[in-house]
Amino acid sequence: MDYLYYLRKEKMPHIWCDGCGHGIILKSILRVIDKLGWEKDDIAMVSGIGCSSRTPGYVDFNTLHTTHGRAIAFATGLKIVKPNLHVIVVSGDGDATAIGGNHFIHAARRNIDLTVIIYNNYIYGMTGGQASPTTPIGKKASTAPYGNPDAPFDISRLAQAAGAAYVARSTVYHVGKTDRYIEQAFLKKGFSVVEVMTPCPTSYGRRNKEGNGVEMMMFQKKNSVGVERAQKMSEEELQGKIITGVFVDKEQNNYLQRYDEVIDKAKQINQ
């Protein structure tokens, strides 16, 4: 496929560091769009603030780069007004689950028909490596110089508990899976989340002696466990592992379908 067809070529090369996984996720998104044959005019990509949230600037869609953590709120308004648009939100772990955590869980509860792709790199990349809600306990960050005392979120489980219709996790190394999950998420008529684990060598890898992009991806390759296999493993065995796979895939009415029912009722009553 021709990635360049979807890119704003004059904005390239992108700002992401060498070995940053963000570009790999963007490629997966574009491959799926290409496969599904979606028209560029029919796609809106919405983001907050962060390295990951710079994605919309590079793609030739209707693109909206909002405030830190708020992308889902903007996307909700856009989707309601323009229900035929494919609205894709891209977000970082900090953007989606720290400052934007409230919007994230409520959008899942509401089951508004959006796909949120979370680039989880365990860190605040853009601002220089401060701890994020997914930084594991004990890992170093610029604001956790002695090791992080905070416990991390499991974003996929959070989305599941909040009521999302589709939730899956992959890593940038596992491109095939990432493509498959993104495709399923795009086709889901409800709130869908794909969490992709991605290396941030600059702000996380180096500080935690996890190496460069290649080494961090090697780690993903060796330490990912499918969700079915993980179920048969003990807590100890799962230490330090990345559990990948589809966590939720269910059919339930989405917000707009339920609002259509509201319209029907309101019209009956007000006849």
Partner 1 sequence: MKKISKITINEKWCKSCEICVQFCPKKVYDMGRFYPVIARPEDCIACKLCEKLCPDFAITVTSPDKAESNKK
Partner 2 sequence: MENIPNPNVRMWQGNVACAEGAIAAGCRFFAGYPITPSSEIAEVLALRFPVIGGNFIQMEDEIAAMGAIIGGSLGGAKTMTATSGPGFSLKQENIGFAVMAEVPCVIVNVQRGGPSTGLPTHAAQSDVMQARWGTHGDHPIIVLCPSSVRETYDLTIRAFNLAEKYRMPVILLSDEIIGHLTEKIEIPEPSTIEIIDRKKPTDTPENYLPYKMDDSDIPAMANFGEGYRYHVTGLAHDETGFPTNDPKKIRAQMLRLNRKIQRFRNDIVEVETFNTDDMDVLVISFGSTARSAKRAVINAREKGVKAGLLRLKTIWPFPDKEIEALYKPVRKIVVAEMNLGQIAHEVEWATRREKPVVRVNKIDGEPITPNEIFEAIIS
Alpha-carbon distance 70 to 252, whole Å? 25
Is residue 63 a contact residue for partner 2 (CB under 8 A)? yes
Stretch of 90-98, 140-148, 206-214, 243-251 lying at the interface with ligand TPP (CB under 6 A): 90-98
Partners of 168 in the β-ladder: 194, 246
Q: Does 31 engage in binding with partner 1 (CB under 8 A)?
A: yes
Question: Contact with ligand TPP (CB under 6 A): which of 121, 170, 202, 220?
Answer: 121
Q: What's the distance, CA 13 to chain centroid?
A: 22
User: CA–CA separation, 271 vs 50, rounded Å?
Assistant: 49
- Our finding on whether 66 is near ligand SF4 (CB under 6 A) is no
56 lines the binding site for ligand TPP (CB under 6 A)? no
Does position 125 interact with ligand TPP (CB under 6 A)? The reply is yes
Choices 15-23, 113-121, 124-132, 142-150 (CB under 8 A): range interacting with partner 1: 15-23
Q: Which of 29, 172, 193, 200 binds partner 1 (CB under 8 A)?
A: 172
The closest of 127, 152, 147, 151 to 208, measured between CA atoms, is 147
Dist. CA 60–CA 73, nearest whole Å? 22
- Enter the tokens of residue 113: 């028909």
| Strands 224-226 vs 123-124: parallel, antiparallel or unpaired | unpaired
Radius of gyration of the chain (CA): 18
Tokens of 170: 């992959």
Nearer CB in complex with ligand SF4: 19/245: 19
Contact positions toward ligand TPP, by CB under 6 A?
Answer: 49-52, 68, 92-95, 119, 121, 123-127, 132, 200
Which residues sit at the interface with partner 2, rule CB under 8 A?
Answer: 11, 40-42, 44, 46, 56-57, 60-67, 70, 72-82, 84-85, 102-103, 106, 259, 262-263, 265-267, 270
